[in-house]
């Protein structure tokens, strides 16, 4: 707990401020993220490989249980869980910004310790929204396609792009997915790196994250859409692209967080303590 000059309790919500940013901040963050990736490419790509492996296992599971139609909704919703996987990338960028050297073991140890902090609750929020996305996809399938079975993913794509009910399914599903993705992006774009960087509760972190998007909608919302598009495109070549795209986006997100959140008041108070 910190205090102000009148010795009144000062919460983290008061000590941390949200800055207004522009697209130049996105460009600077992207440049810094690419630099971080180039400095430690193997470790960075490891986290991309973990994310890609999870996706491959997910698709194989749908195939084994004769739910191949779930592949497309899962691929669309897949970017929703990216912030959770990227925590190791945030820690790498945090240390590189400070000029600190580190080993793989040290990064994994930081990730492991997050289960003892508020990050676990934030992970629950992410996975809950992903579950809602998958559930609504199943509901829309029942409403518009009457649980029609599909022999292959190509057959499923043909049905949803050439039939009236299929087009309704994909249109409404896309709209619902866009709303869920926007909500989750707003809740996590700042809160995930913030929870790693500061001793703050996950509710306050989400409030600051939503405030960051609300303060900079013309910048943050297009950035969120760009993330979704890049991740979705990276899934196309058998998840190979995600091994490179996810690490870069993770590093970029950390540097964008540093540009959005102003912690100068908190640092000033801590220096006086």
| Residue 67: predicted pLDDT | 66
Output the CA–CA distances (angstroms, integers) from residue 163 to 139, 167, 168, 172, 247, in the order listed: 18, 6, 9, 14, 38
3-state secondary structure (DSSP) of residue 248: helix
- Structural domain including 265 reads 2-272
Burial (CB count <10 Å: 0-12, 13-18, 19+), residue 245: buried
The predicted model scores a pTM of: 0.84
Q: And the tokens for 253?
A: 């997100």
Query: Could you identify the residue written with the tokens 């540093």?
Result: 258
| Residue 245: predicted pLDDT | 92
Q: How many domains does the chain have?
A: 1
Print pLDDT tens along the chain (273 aa). Answer: 444 444 444 577 788 999 999 999 999 999 999 999 999 999 999 999 988 887 787 777 766 666 666 666 666 666 666 666 788 999 999 999 999 999 999 999 988 887 777 877 887 888 788 788 878 888 888 888 876 666 666 777 788 888 888 888 888 988 888 888 899 899 989 998 999 999 889 999 999 999 999 999 999 999 999 988 888 888 777 788 989 999 999 999 999 999 999 988 877 777 776
């Amino acid at each position: 707990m910190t205090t102000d000059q009148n010795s009144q309790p000062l919460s983290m919500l008061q000590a941390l401020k949200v800055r207004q940013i522009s697209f130049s901040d996105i460009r600077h963050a992207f440049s810094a993220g690419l630099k971080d990736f180039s400095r430690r490419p193997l470790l960075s790509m490891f986290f991309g490989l973990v994310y890609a492996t999870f996706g491959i296992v997910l698709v194989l599971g749908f195939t084994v249980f004769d739910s191949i139609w779930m592949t497309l909704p899962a691929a669309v919703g897949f970017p929703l869980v990216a912030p959770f996987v990227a925590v190791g990338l945030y820690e790498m960028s945090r240390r590189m910004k400070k000029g600190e050297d580190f080993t793989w073991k040290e990064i994994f140890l930081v990730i492991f310790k997050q289960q003892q902090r508020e990050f676990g609750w934030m992970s629950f929020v992410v996975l809950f929204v992903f579950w809602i996305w998958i559930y609504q996809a199943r509901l829309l399938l029942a409403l518009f396609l009457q649980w029609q079975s599909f022999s292959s993913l190509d057959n499923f794509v043909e049905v949803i792009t050439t039939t009236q009910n299929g087009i309704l399914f994909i249109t409404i599903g896309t709209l619902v997915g866009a709303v869920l993705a926007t909500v989750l992006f707003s809740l996590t774009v700042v809160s995930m790196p913030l929870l790693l960087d500061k001793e703050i509760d996950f509710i306050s972190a989400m409030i600051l994250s939503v405030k960051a998007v609300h303060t900079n909608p013309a910048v943050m919302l297009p950035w969120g859409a760009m993330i979704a598009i890049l991740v979705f495109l990276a899934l196309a070549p058998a998840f190979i692209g995600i091994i490179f795209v996810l690490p870069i986006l993770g590093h970029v997100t950390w540097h964008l967080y540093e540009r959005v959140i102003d912690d100068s008041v908190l640092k000033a108070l801590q220096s006086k303590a």
